[in-house]
Chains A and B, each alone.
Chain A
Protein backbone atom coordinates (compact mmCIF):
# COMPACT_ATOMS: atom_id res chain seq x y z
CA UNK A 1 0.00 0.00 0.00
CA UNK A 2 2.63 2.51 1.11
CA UNK A 3 4.90 1.31 -1.65
CA UNK A 4 2.33 1.71 -4.36
CA UNK A 5 1.45 5.17 -3.05
CA UNK A 6 5.10 6.12 -3.19
CA UNK A 7 5.32 4.84 -6.74
CA UNK A 8 2.22 6.87 -7.63
CA UNK A 9 3.81 9.99 -6.15
CA UNK A 10 7.08 9.50 -7.98
CA UNK A 11 5.40 8.90 -11.32
CA UNK A 12 3.71 12.30 -11.00
CA UNK A 13 0.33 10.75 -11.71
CA UNK A 14 -0.95 11.65 -8.26
CA UNK A 15 -2.05 15.03 -9.64
CA UNK A 16 -4.39 13.21 -12.00
CA UNK A 17 -5.88 11.22 -9.14
CA UNK A 18 -6.15 14.31 -6.99
CA UNK A 19 -8.12 16.04 -9.76
CA UNK A 20 -10.34 12.98 -10.15
CA UNK A 21 -11.15 13.03 -6.45
CA UNK A 22 -11.91 16.78 -6.58
CA UNK A 23 -14.16 16.25 -9.60
CA UNK A 24 -15.95 13.42 -7.82
CA UNK A 25 -16.55 15.55 -4.72
CA UNK A 26 -17.79 18.42 -6.89
CA UNK A 27 -20.14 16.24 -8.88
CA UNK A 28 -21.52 14.84 -5.65
CA UNK A 29 -22.26 18.40 -4.48
CA UNK A 30 -23.96 19.08 -7.80
CA UNK A 31 -25.94 15.86 -7.66
CA UNK A 32 -26.90 16.02 -3.99
CA UNK A 33 -30.02 18.23 -4.41
CA UNK A 34 -31.36 15.70 -6.92
CA UNK A 35 -31.19 12.99 -4.25
CA UNK A 36 -33.59 15.05 -2.13
CA UNK A 37 -35.85 15.50 -5.12
CA UNK A 38 -36.00 11.80 -5.90
CA UNK A 39 -36.25 10.44 -2.36
CA UNK A 40 -38.76 13.05 -1.20
CA UNK A 41 -41.11 12.10 -4.03
CA UNK A 42 -41.44 8.62 -2.48
CA UNK A 43 -42.38 9.93 0.96
CA UNK A 44 -45.78 10.24 2.56
CA UNK A 45 -47.24 13.61 3.54
CA UNK A 46 -46.45 12.99 7.20
CA UNK A 47 -42.95 11.78 6.45
CA UNK A 48 -41.89 14.79 4.37
CA UNK A 49 -42.60 17.34 7.13
CA UNK A 50 -41.11 15.17 9.88
CA UNK A 51 -38.40 16.86 11.97
CA UNK A 52 -35.56 16.04 11.97
CA UNK A 53 -35.69 15.44 8.22
CA UNK A 54 -34.03 12.42 6.70
CA UNK A 55 -32.93 11.99 3.13
CA UNK A 56 -34.46 8.55 2.74
CA UNK A 57 -38.19 7.90 3.13
CA UNK A 58 -39.31 6.15 6.31
CA UNK A 59 -41.67 4.04 4.25
CA UNK A 60 -41.46 4.01 0.44
CA UNK A 61 -44.74 4.86 -1.26
CA UNK A 62 -46.02 5.84 -4.70
CA UNK A 63 -48.91 7.86 -3.28
CA UNK A 64 -47.41 11.18 -4.44
CA UNK A 65 -47.20 9.88 -8.01
CA UNK A 66 -50.77 8.65 -7.83
CA UNK A 67 -51.79 12.08 -6.59
CA UNK A 68 -50.26 13.97 -9.51
CA UNK A 69 -51.48 11.50 -12.14
CA UNK A 70 -55.06 11.82 -10.89
CA UNK A 71 -56.86 13.99 -13.47
CA UNK A 72 -59.17 15.37 -10.80
CA UNK A 73 -56.30 16.77 -8.76
CA UNK A 74 -53.51 17.73 -11.18
CA UNK A 75 -53.86 17.41 -14.90
CA UNK A 76 -50.37 16.10 -15.50
CA UNK A 77 -51.09 13.69 -18.40
CA UNK A 78 -52.84 16.46 -20.27
CA UNK A 79 -49.87 18.81 -19.71
CA UNK A 80 -47.57 16.07 -20.99
CA UNK A 81 -49.55 15.98 -24.21
CA UNK A 82 -49.54 19.80 -24.53
CA UNK A 83 -45.79 20.05 -23.94
CA UNK A 84 -45.07 17.25 -26.40
CA UNK A 85 -47.19 18.90 -29.06
CA UNK A 86 -45.59 22.33 -28.67
CA UNK A 87 -42.03 21.04 -28.31
CA UNK A 88 -42.12 18.59 -31.20
CA UNK A 89 -43.91 21.12 -33.41
CA UNK A 90 -41.44 23.88 -32.61
CA UNK A 91 -38.35 21.71 -33.03
CA UNK A 92 -39.45 20.40 -36.43
CA UNK A 93 -40.44 23.87 -37.63
CA UNK A 94 -37.21 25.51 -36.51
CA UNK A 95 -35.05 22.76 -38.00
CA UNK A 96 -36.82 23.17 -41.33
CA UNK A 97 -36.85 26.99 -41.46
CA UNK A 98 -33.30 27.31 -40.15
CA UNK A 99 -31.71 24.87 -42.59
CA UNK A 100 -33.70 26.29 -45.49
CA UNK A 101 -32.89 29.83 -44.37
CA UNK A 102 -29.22 28.98 -44.01
CA UNK A 103 -29.22 27.61 -47.56
CA UNK A 104 -31.14 30.59 -48.94
CA UNK A 105 -28.84 33.16 -47.35
CA UNK A 106 -25.65 31.26 -48.12
CA UNK A 107 -26.20 30.19 -51.73
CA UNK A 108 -29.20 31.72 -53.47
CA UNK A 109 -29.20 35.10 -55.19
CA UNK A 110 -31.94 37.66 -54.77
CA UNK A 111 -31.96 41.43 -54.26
CA UNK A 112 -31.73 42.58 -50.66
CA UNK A 113 -30.35 39.26 -49.48
CA UNK A 114 -27.58 40.59 -47.25
CA UNK A 115 -29.66 43.46 -45.93
CA UNK A 116 -32.42 41.05 -44.90
CA UNK A 117 -29.91 38.71 -43.29
CA UNK A 118 -28.37 41.44 -41.17
CA UNK A 119 -31.83 42.68 -40.19
CA UNK A 120 -32.69 39.18 -38.98
CA UNK A 121 -29.41 39.02 -37.08
CA UNK A 122 -29.99 42.42 -35.47
CA UNK A 123 -33.30 41.27 -33.94
CA UNK A 124 -31.27 39.20 -31.46
CA UNK A 125 -30.00 42.43 -29.91
CA UNK A 126 -33.44 43.30 -28.55
CA UNK A 127 -34.19 41.43 -25.33
CA UNK A 128 -37.35 39.35 -25.24
CA UNK A 129 -38.50 41.36 -22.22
CA UNK A 130 -38.85 44.47 -24.37
CA UNK A 131 -41.12 42.60 -26.76
CA UNK A 132 -43.09 40.78 -24.06
CA UNK A 133 -45.95 43.24 -23.49
CA UNK A 134 -46.45 44.26 -27.17
CA UNK A 135 -46.12 40.68 -28.39
CA UNK A 136 -48.89 39.77 -25.97
CA UNK A 137 -51.04 42.50 -27.54
CA UNK A 138 -50.23 41.21 -31.04
CA UNK A 139 -51.20 37.66 -30.03
CA UNK A 140 -54.42 39.01 -28.58
CA UNK A 141 -55.21 40.72 -31.90
CA UNK A 142 -54.50 37.45 -33.74
CA UNK A 143 -56.78 35.57 -31.29
CA UNK A 144 -53.93 33.25 -30.38
CA UNK A 145 -54.02 33.84 -26.62
CA UNK A 146 -54.79 30.77 -24.55
CA UNK A 147 -53.98 28.46 -27.47
CA UNK A 148 -50.93 26.30 -28.05
CA UNK A 149 -50.58 28.06 -31.42
CA UNK A 150 -49.66 31.16 -29.44
CA UNK A 151 -46.54 29.36 -28.22
CA UNK A 152 -45.66 28.05 -31.66
CA UNK A 153 -46.11 31.17 -33.82
CA UNK A 154 -43.31 33.34 -32.33
CA UNK A 155 -40.82 30.54 -32.92
CA UNK A 156 -41.56 29.59 -36.52
CA UNK A 157 -38.26 31.19 -37.52
CA UNK A 158 -35.20 31.45 -35.32
CA UNK A 159 -32.57 34.14 -35.98
CA UNK A 160 -29.98 32.07 -34.15
CA UNK A 161 -30.87 28.94 -36.13
CA UNK A 162 -30.71 30.68 -39.51
CA UNK A 163 -27.37 32.27 -38.59
CA UNK A 164 -25.96 28.96 -37.41
CA UNK A 165 -27.01 27.06 -40.53
CA UNK A 166 -25.79 29.81 -42.86
CA UNK A 167 -22.33 29.64 -41.28
CA UNK A 168 -22.31 25.89 -41.64
CA UNK A 169 -23.57 25.82 -45.22
CA UNK A 170 -20.89 28.36 -46.20
CA UNK A 171 -18.43 25.64 -45.27
CA UNK A 172 -19.96 23.21 -47.79
CA UNK A 173 -18.15 23.68 -51.13
CA UNK A 174 -20.14 25.90 -53.49
CA UNK A 175 -19.09 23.64 -56.40
CA UNK A 176 -21.53 21.05 -55.09
CA UNK A 177 -24.37 23.51 -55.55
CA UNK A 178 -23.13 24.67 -58.96
CA UNK A 179 -22.73 21.11 -60.25
CA UNK A 180 -26.24 20.12 -59.20
CA UNK A 181 -27.56 23.33 -60.76
CA UNK A 182 -25.87 22.51 -64.08
CA UNK A 183 -27.39 19.03 -63.91
CA UNK A 184 -30.74 20.76 -63.90
CA UNK A 185 -31.83 20.38 -60.27
CA UNK A 186 -34.16 22.97 -58.82
CA UNK A 187 -33.14 24.95 -55.75
CA UNK A 188 -35.46 23.11 -53.41
CA UNK A 189 -34.32 19.77 -54.80
CA UNK A 190 -30.69 20.71 -54.17
CA UNK A 191 -31.61 21.77 -50.64
CA UNK A 192 -33.43 18.53 -49.88
CA UNK A 193 -31.09 16.05 -51.55
CA UNK A 194 -27.66 17.60 -51.09
CA UNK A 195 -27.59 20.35 -48.48
CA UNK A 196 -29.98 18.93 -45.87
CA UNK A 197 -28.12 15.59 -45.38
CA UNK A 198 -24.81 17.46 -45.04
CA UNK A 199 -26.23 19.84 -42.42
CA UNK A 200 -27.04 16.99 -40.02
CA UNK A 201 -24.36 17.74 -37.35
CA UNK A 202 -25.42 21.34 -36.87
CA UNK A 203 -29.11 20.40 -36.99
CA UNK A 204 -28.78 17.84 -34.22
CA UNK A 205 -27.14 20.48 -32.01
CA UNK A 206 -29.87 22.97 -32.90
CA UNK A 207 -32.53 20.33 -32.19
CA UNK A 208 -31.20 19.72 -28.67
CA UNK A 209 -31.07 23.40 -27.77
CA UNK A 210 -34.47 24.11 -29.26
CA UNK A 211 -35.95 21.14 -27.44
CA UNK A 212 -34.57 22.24 -24.06
CA UNK A 213 -35.51 25.87 -24.64
CA UNK A 214 -39.09 25.08 -25.66
CA UNK A 215 -39.74 22.32 -23.18
CA UNK A 216 -38.43 24.32 -20.21
CA UNK A 217 -39.90 27.68 -21.27
CA UNK A 218 -41.80 29.43 -18.52
CA UNK A 219 -42.35 33.16 -19.08
CA UNK A 220 -44.01 33.16 -22.50
CA UNK A 221 -46.34 30.20 -21.76
CA UNK A 222 -47.21 31.90 -18.45
CA UNK A 223 -48.32 35.00 -20.34
CA UNK A 224 -50.14 33.20 -23.15
CA UNK A 225 -51.88 30.27 -21.48
CA UNK A 226 -54.59 30.36 -18.88
CA UNK A 227 -56.92 27.34 -19.04
CA UNK A 228 -55.88 24.44 -16.85
CA UNK A 229 -56.17 21.95 -19.73
CA UNK A 230 -53.94 24.05 -22.03
CA UNK A 231 -50.99 24.36 -19.64
CA UNK A 232 -47.53 23.03 -20.41
CA UNK A 233 -45.55 21.00 -17.88
CA UNK A 234 -43.54 23.81 -16.21
CA UNK A 235 -46.77 25.77 -15.67
CA UNK A 236 -48.63 22.80 -14.23
CA UNK A 237 -45.77 22.30 -11.76
CA UNK A 238 -46.19 25.80 -10.39
CA UNK A 239 -49.97 25.32 -10.22
CA UNK A 240 -49.28 22.14 -8.27
CA UNK A 241 -46.88 23.98 -5.98
CA UNK A 242 -49.65 26.45 -5.16
CA UNK A 243 -52.17 23.69 -4.61
CA UNK A 244 -50.13 21.06 -2.77
CA UNK A 245 -47.14 23.13 -1.60
CA UNK A 246 -48.50 23.74 1.89
CA UNK A 247 -49.30 20.21 2.98
CA UNK A 248 -48.23 17.76 0.26
CA UNK A 249 -44.84 18.88 -0.95
CA UNK A 250 -44.04 15.31 -1.93
CA UNK A 251 -46.56 15.76 -4.76
CA UNK A 252 -44.61 18.77 -6.05
CA UNK A 253 -41.47 16.62 -5.92
CA UNK A 254 -43.16 13.74 -7.75
CA UNK A 255 -44.41 16.11 -10.45
CA UNK A 256 -40.92 17.61 -10.74
CA UNK A 257 -39.37 14.18 -11.21
CA UNK A 258 -41.85 13.37 -13.97
CA UNK A 259 -41.21 16.71 -15.70
CA UNK A 260 -37.43 16.22 -15.58
CA UNK A 261 -37.57 12.86 -17.34
CA UNK A 262 -38.08 13.98 -20.99
CA UNK A 263 -35.11 16.41 -21.03
CA UNK A 264 -33.02 13.78 -19.28
CA UNK A 265 -33.87 11.13 -21.85
CA UNK A 266 -33.11 13.49 -24.75
CA UNK A 267 -29.85 14.45 -23.08
CA UNK A 268 -28.78 10.85 -22.56
CA UNK A 269 -29.62 9.89 -26.14
CA UNK A 270 -27.80 12.83 -27.69
CA UNK A 271 -25.15 13.10 -24.98
CA UNK A 272 -22.32 12.58 -27.42
CA UNK A 273 -23.60 15.35 -29.68
CA UNK A 274 -23.82 17.80 -26.82
CA UNK A 275 -20.18 18.72 -26.49
CA UNK A 276 -19.61 18.62 -30.23
CA UNK A 277 -22.72 20.72 -30.71
CA UNK A 278 -21.54 23.29 -28.21
CA UNK A 279 -18.15 23.42 -29.87
CA UNK A 280 -19.97 23.95 -33.14
CA UNK A 281 -22.52 26.50 -31.95
CA UNK A 282 -21.23 28.25 -28.88
CA UNK A 283 -17.79 29.26 -29.95
CA UNK A 284 -17.98 30.29 -33.53
CA UNK A 285 -20.94 32.55 -32.73
Chain B
Protein backbone atom coordinates (compact mmCIF):
# COMPACT_ATOMS: atom_id res chain seq x y z
CA UNK B 1 0.00 0.00 0.00
CA UNK B 2 2.74 2.39 0.96
CA UNK B 3 5.01 1.74 -1.99
CA UNK B 4 2.46 2.02 -4.75
CA UNK B 5 1.90 5.79 -4.89
CA UNK B 6 5.64 6.37 -4.73
CA UNK B 7 6.20 4.30 -7.83
CA UNK B 8 3.42 6.06 -9.66
CA UNK B 9 4.91 9.40 -8.70
CA UNK B 10 8.28 8.41 -10.04
CA UNK B 11 6.78 7.37 -13.35
CA UNK B 12 4.36 10.23 -13.87
CA UNK B 13 4.47 12.97 -11.28
CA UNK B 14 1.10 14.64 -11.48
CA UNK B 15 0.73 18.02 -9.86
CA UNK B 16 -2.29 17.13 -7.73
CA UNK B 17 -0.42 14.41 -5.94
CA UNK B 18 2.48 16.63 -5.01
CA UNK B 19 1.36 18.08 -1.75
CA UNK B 20 3.04 21.14 -0.35
CA UNK B 21 5.21 19.04 1.97
CA UNK B 22 6.34 16.78 -0.81
CA UNK B 23 7.25 19.74 -3.00
CA UNK B 24 9.09 21.21 -0.05
CA UNK B 25 11.13 18.02 0.26
CA UNK B 26 12.02 18.09 -3.41
CA UNK B 27 12.74 21.83 -3.40
CA UNK B 28 16.19 23.21 -4.00
CA UNK B 29 17.94 23.91 -0.67
CA UNK B 30 19.61 27.01 -2.11
CA UNK B 31 16.21 28.27 -3.26
CA UNK B 32 14.72 27.75 0.21
CA UNK B 33 17.68 29.44 1.88
CA UNK B 34 17.40 32.47 -0.39
CA UNK B 35 13.62 32.59 0.04
CA UNK B 36 14.04 32.59 3.83
CA UNK B 37 16.64 35.36 3.78
CA UNK B 38 14.65 37.49 1.39
CA UNK B 39 11.46 36.99 3.42
CA UNK B 40 13.16 38.08 6.64
CA UNK B 41 14.65 41.09 4.88
CA UNK B 42 11.39 42.30 3.35
CA UNK B 43 9.55 41.70 6.60
CA UNK B 44 11.97 43.99 8.44
CA UNK B 45 12.44 46.76 5.88
CA UNK B 46 9.10 46.63 4.08
CA UNK B 47 6.18 44.78 5.69
CA UNK B 48 6.74 46.04 9.24
CA UNK B 49 7.40 49.66 8.14
CA UNK B 50 4.46 49.66 5.74
CA UNK B 51 2.20 48.20 8.41
CA UNK B 52 3.54 50.73 10.89
CA UNK B 53 2.80 53.54 8.45
CA UNK B 54 -0.82 52.42 8.17
CA UNK B 55 -1.10 51.96 11.95
CA UNK B 56 0.56 55.34 12.62
CA UNK B 57 -1.84 57.13 10.30
CA UNK B 58 -4.65 56.34 12.76
CA UNK B 59 -2.67 57.55 15.78
CA UNK B 60 -1.58 60.79 17.28
CA UNK B 61 2.06 60.41 18.30
CA UNK B 62 4.95 62.80 19.01
CA UNK B 63 7.72 60.20 19.56
CA UNK B 64 7.72 60.86 23.33
CA UNK B 65 4.30 60.24 24.89
CA UNK B 66 2.10 57.21 24.29
CA UNK B 67 0.43 56.99 20.86
CA UNK B 68 -3.28 57.81 20.97
CA UNK B 69 -5.83 56.31 18.57
CA UNK B 70 -7.67 59.06 16.69
CA UNK B 71 -9.45 57.10 13.96
CA UNK B 72 -9.63 58.85 10.62
CA UNK B 73 -8.95 62.28 12.08
CA UNK B 74 -5.49 62.57 10.45
CA UNK B 75 -6.98 62.01 7.00
CA UNK B 76 -9.86 64.37 7.72
CA UNK B 77 -7.35 66.95 8.90
CA UNK B 78 -5.48 66.74 5.59
CA UNK B 79 -8.65 67.70 3.72
CA UNK B 80 -9.02 70.93 5.70
CA UNK B 81 -5.30 71.66 6.03
CA UNK B 82 -4.40 74.63 3.79
CA UNK B 83 -0.69 73.68 4.01
CA UNK B 84 -1.49 70.23 2.67
CA UNK B 85 -3.37 71.62 -0.32
CA UNK B 86 -0.62 74.13 -1.00
CA UNK B 87 1.98 71.36 -0.91
CA UNK B 88 -0.17 69.21 -3.21
CA UNK B 89 -0.56 72.08 -5.66
CA UNK B 90 3.19 72.78 -5.61
CA UNK B 91 3.96 69.10 -6.17
CA UNK B 92 1.59 68.79 -9.13
CA UNK B 93 2.73 72.07 -10.71
CA UNK B 94 6.37 71.08 -10.41
CA UNK B 95 5.76 67.56 -11.67
CA UNK B 96 3.67 68.59 -14.70
CA UNK B 97 6.02 71.37 -15.82
CA UNK B 98 9.20 69.39 -15.21
CA UNK B 99 7.92 66.36 -17.11
CA UNK B 100 6.40 68.16 -20.09
CA UNK B 101 9.39 70.43 -20.63
CA UNK B 102 11.91 67.75 -19.67
CA UNK B 103 10.51 65.04 -21.94
CA UNK B 104 10.09 67.44 -24.87
CA UNK B 105 13.70 68.61 -24.51
CA UNK B 106 14.95 65.06 -24.07
CA UNK B 107 13.09 63.96 -27.19
CA UNK B 108 14.60 66.80 -29.20
CA UNK B 109 18.05 66.03 -27.84
CA UNK B 110 17.71 62.30 -28.56
CA UNK B 111 16.58 63.07 -32.08
CA UNK B 112 19.59 65.30 -32.68
CA UNK B 113 21.94 62.77 -31.11
CA UNK B 114 20.54 60.01 -33.33
CA UNK B 115 21.61 62.02 -36.40
CA UNK B 116 25.30 61.99 -35.46
CA UNK B 117 27.12 58.71 -35.09
CA UNK B 118 30.16 57.09 -33.58
CA UNK B 119 32.64 59.10 -31.54
CA UNK B 120 30.78 62.40 -32.01
CA UNK B 121 27.64 60.87 -30.54
CA UNK B 122 29.57 59.40 -27.65
CA UNK B 123 31.28 62.68 -26.79
CA UNK B 124 28.04 64.67 -26.84
CA UNK B 125 26.24 61.95 -24.92
CA UNK B 126 28.87 62.07 -22.17
CA UNK B 127 28.68 65.86 -21.95
CA UNK B 128 24.90 65.86 -21.65
CA UNK B 129 25.10 63.07 -19.10
CA UNK B 130 27.44 64.92 -16.71
CA UNK B 131 24.66 66.62 -14.69
CA UNK B 132 22.98 63.24 -14.18
CA UNK B 133 26.00 61.77 -12.41
CA UNK B 134 26.69 64.91 -10.36
CA UNK B 135 25.52 64.52 -6.75
CA UNK B 136 22.34 66.53 -6.13
CA UNK B 137 23.95 68.47 -3.28
CA UNK B 138 26.62 69.72 -5.65
CA UNK B 139 24.02 70.72 -8.22
CA UNK B 140 22.01 72.55 -5.58
CA UNK B 141 24.88 74.57 -4.09
CA UNK B 142 26.24 75.37 -7.52
CA UNK B 143 22.90 76.64 -8.79
CA UNK B 144 22.09 78.60 -5.65
CA UNK B 145 25.38 80.37 -6.25
CA UNK B 146 24.44 81.12 -9.86
CA UNK B 147 20.95 82.27 -8.79
CA UNK B 148 22.25 84.80 -6.24
CA UNK B 149 20.28 88.08 -6.70
CA UNK B 150 23.38 90.30 -6.46
CA UNK B 151 26.50 89.13 -8.21
CA UNK B 152 25.06 85.80 -9.39
CA UNK B 153 26.06 84.55 -12.82
CA UNK B 154 22.50 84.65 -14.18
CA UNK B 155 21.91 88.25 -13.14
CA UNK B 156 25.31 89.26 -14.48
CA UNK B 157 24.28 87.71 -17.78
CA UNK B 158 20.86 89.43 -17.71
CA UNK B 159 22.40 92.85 -17.08
CA UNK B 160 24.96 92.23 -19.83
CA UNK B 161 22.16 91.85 -22.39
CA UNK B 162 20.27 94.80 -20.91
CA UNK B 163 17.55 93.06 -18.90
CA UNK B 164 16.60 93.94 -15.31
CA UNK B 165 18.02 91.66 -12.56
CA UNK B 166 15.68 89.06 -11.08
CA UNK B 167 15.33 87.93 -7.45
CA UNK B 168 15.20 84.23 -8.49
CA UNK B 169 15.19 82.03 -5.36
CA UNK B 170 14.40 85.00 -3.12
CA UNK B 171 11.02 85.51 -4.78
CA UNK B 172 8.02 83.33 -3.85
CA UNK B 173 6.73 83.45 -7.42
CA UNK B 174 10.04 82.55 -9.10
CA UNK B 175 11.63 80.09 -6.68
CA UNK B 176 9.65 77.04 -7.82
CA UNK B 177 10.52 77.65 -11.46
CA UNK B 178 14.18 78.17 -10.58
CA UNK B 179 14.20 74.74 -8.94
CA UNK B 180 12.30 73.26 -11.91
CA UNK B 181 14.86 74.64 -14.37
CA UNK B 182 17.69 73.17 -12.29
CA UNK B 183 15.99 69.75 -12.11
CA UNK B 184 15.42 69.74 -15.88
CA UNK B 185 19.09 70.60 -16.40
CA UNK B 186 20.04 67.74 -14.08
CA UNK B 187 17.73 65.13 -15.65
CA UNK B 188 17.44 65.84 -19.35
CA UNK B 189 20.59 63.90 -20.28
CA UNK B 190 19.37 60.77 -18.54
CA UNK B 191 15.98 60.86 -20.25
CA UNK B 192 17.47 61.46 -23.68
CA UNK B 193 19.84 58.51 -23.34
CA UNK B 194 16.84 56.26 -22.66
CA UNK B 195 14.92 57.70 -25.61
CA UNK B 196 18.00 57.38 -27.80
CA UNK B 197 18.32 53.71 -26.89
CA UNK B 198 14.67 53.35 -27.94
CA UNK B 199 15.34 55.08 -31.26
CA UNK B 200 18.30 52.81 -31.93
CA UNK B 201 15.97 49.82 -31.58
CA UNK B 202 13.78 50.97 -34.47
CA UNK B 203 14.62 48.73 -37.47
CA UNK B 204 16.53 50.63 -40.16
CA UNK B 205 14.47 48.88 -42.87
CA UNK B 206 11.41 50.95 -41.91
CA UNK B 207 13.28 54.16 -42.70
CA UNK B 208 14.66 52.72 -45.93
CA UNK B 209 11.19 51.76 -47.10
CA UNK B 210 9.86 55.21 -46.17
CA UNK B 211 12.75 56.90 -47.99
CA UNK B 212 11.97 54.91 -51.14
CA UNK B 213 8.40 56.15 -50.87
CA UNK B 214 9.76 59.68 -50.73
CA UNK B 215 9.06 60.47 -47.07
CA UNK B 216 10.75 63.54 -45.58
CA UNK B 217 12.61 63.81 -42.30
CA UNK B 218 9.72 65.07 -40.18
CA UNK B 219 7.28 62.71 -41.80
CA UNK B 220 9.52 59.80 -40.81
CA UNK B 221 9.81 61.21 -37.32
CA UNK B 222 6.07 61.49 -36.74
CA UNK B 223 5.04 58.35 -38.65
CA UNK B 224 7.84 55.95 -37.70
CA UNK B 225 10.09 57.08 -34.86
CA UNK B 226 7.43 58.45 -32.52
CA UNK B 227 5.00 55.50 -32.76
CA UNK B 228 7.88 53.00 -32.47
CA UNK B 229 9.35 54.52 -29.32
CA UNK B 230 5.95 55.06 -27.69
CA UNK B 231 6.47 52.33 -25.03
CA UNK B 232 9.79 53.95 -24.08
CA UNK B 233 8.18 57.37 -23.96
CA UNK B 234 5.35 56.12 -21.74
CA UNK B 235 7.86 54.36 -19.51
CA UNK B 236 9.85 57.58 -19.22
CA UNK B 237 6.76 59.61 -18.28
CA UNK B 238 5.54 57.06 -15.73
CA UNK B 239 8.96 56.85 -14.08
CA UNK B 240 9.29 60.65 -14.10
CA UNK B 241 5.93 61.07 -12.35
CA UNK B 242 7.05 58.73 -9.59
CA UNK B 243 10.45 60.43 -9.40
CA UNK B 244 9.27 64.05 -9.37
CA UNK B 245 6.48 63.52 -6.83
CA UNK B 246 8.97 61.91 -4.45
CA UNK B 247 11.78 64.39 -5.09
CA UNK B 248 13.13 65.75 -1.85
CA UNK B 249 16.73 67.03 -2.00
CA UNK B 250 16.33 70.28 -4.03
CA UNK B 251 13.29 71.43 -2.06
CA UNK B 252 15.01 70.70 1.23
CA UNK B 253 18.35 72.24 0.30
CA UNK B 254 17.32 75.36 -1.65
CA UNK B 255 13.82 76.28 -0.45
CA UNK B 256 12.11 79.42 -1.69
CA UNK B 257 10.71 81.94 0.78
CA UNK B 258 7.94 80.80 3.12
CA UNK B 259 6.08 77.75 1.87
CA UNK B 260 6.40 78.66 -1.80
CA UNK B 261 8.38 75.55 -2.71
CA UNK B 262 7.20 73.11 -0.07
CA UNK B 263 6.12 69.88 -1.81
CA UNK B 264 4.34 66.91 -0.26
CA UNK B 265 7.66 65.09 0.08
CA UNK B 266 9.19 67.93 2.09
CA UNK B 267 5.97 68.36 4.09
CA UNK B 268 6.06 64.67 5.09
CA UNK B 269 9.65 64.98 6.21
CA UNK B 270 8.95 68.12 8.21
CA UNK B 271 5.88 66.60 9.87
CA UNK B 272 7.79 63.48 10.84
CA UNK B 273 11.20 64.77 11.81
CA UNK B 274 10.72 68.44 12.69
CA UNK B 275 7.14 68.95 13.91
CA UNK B 276 7.17 65.41 15.40
CA UNK B 277 3.59 64.94 14.27
CA UNK B 278 4.19 61.34 13.24
CA UNK B 279 0.58 60.23 12.82
CA UNK B 280 -0.27 63.07 10.47
CA UNK B 281 3.04 62.65 8.63
CA UNK B 282 2.24 58.97 8.04
CA UNK B 283 -1.24 59.89 6.79
CA UNK B 284 0.18 62.40 4.29
CA UNK B 285 2.75 59.87 3.10
CA UNK B 286 -0.01 57.29 2.55
CA UNK B 287 -1.98 59.86 0.55
CA UNK B 288 1.12 60.30 -1.66
CA UNK B 289 1.25 56.51 -2.09
CA UNK B 290 -2.41 56.28 -3.14
CA UNK B 291 -2.11 59.27 -5.50
CA UNK B 292 0.98 57.78 -7.17
CA UNK B 293 -0.69 54.38 -7.46
CA UNK B 294 -3.73 55.92 -9.17
CA UNK B 295 -1.56 58.08 -11.41
CA UNK B 296 0.52 55.08 -12.52
CA UNK B 297 -2.45 52.79 -13.16
CA UNK B 298 -4.27 55.59 -14.96
CA UNK B 299 -1.34 56.31 -17.26
CA UNK B 300 -0.77 52.65 -18.10
CA UNK B 301 -4.50 52.18 -18.86
CA UNK B 302 -4.74 55.39 -20.81
CA UNK B 303 -1.74 54.70 -23.00
CA UNK B 304 -2.39 50.97 -23.18
CA UNK B 305 1.06 49.69 -22.55
CA UNK B 306 1.56 46.14 -21.45
CA UNK B 307 4.64 45.28 -19.50
CA UNK B 308 6.07 41.98 -20.56
CA UNK B 309 8.28 40.10 -18.22
Residues of A that sit less than 8 Å from B by CB? 15-16, 19-20, 22-24, 26-27, 30-31, 33-34, 36-37, 40, 49-53, 55, 100-101, 104, 108-113, 116, 119-120, 123, 125-138, 142, 153-154, 156-157, 167, 186-188, 191, 212, 215-216, 218-219, 223, 233-234, 237-238, 241, 245, 249, 252-253, 256, 259-260, 263-264, 266-268, 271, 274-275, 278-279, 282-283, 285
Contact = CB atoms under 8 A, between A and B. Distances in A.
Interface in B256-309: 265, 268-269, 272-273, 278, 281-282, 285-286, 288-289, 292-293, 296, 307, 309
B77 interface: no
Contact of A234 (B50, B135, B269, B307): B135
Contacts of B71: none
Interface in B21-67: 23-24, 26-32, 34-35, 37-39, 41-42, 44-46, 48-53, 56
Contacts of A156: 41
A241 B51 CA distance: 37
Given A36-B146, A256-B138, A27 B285 contact: no
Chain A facing B: main interface SS: helix
Nearest to A135: B49
B113 interface: yes
Contacts, number: 258
Contacts of B29: 187
B128 A113 contact: no
Interface of B: 20, 23-24, 26-32, 34-35, 37-39, 41-42, 44-46, 48-53, 56, 109, 112-113, 115-116, 120, 122, 124-131, 133-138, 141-143, 145-146, 150-153, 156, 185, 189, 193-194, 196-198, 200-201, 217, 231-232, 235, 242, 245-246, 248-249, 252-253, 265, 268-269, 272-273, 278, 281-282, 285-286, 288-289, 292-293, 296, 307, 309
A278 B197 contact: yes
A219 B273 CA distance: 12
A135 B43 CA distance: 11
A110 B235 contact: no
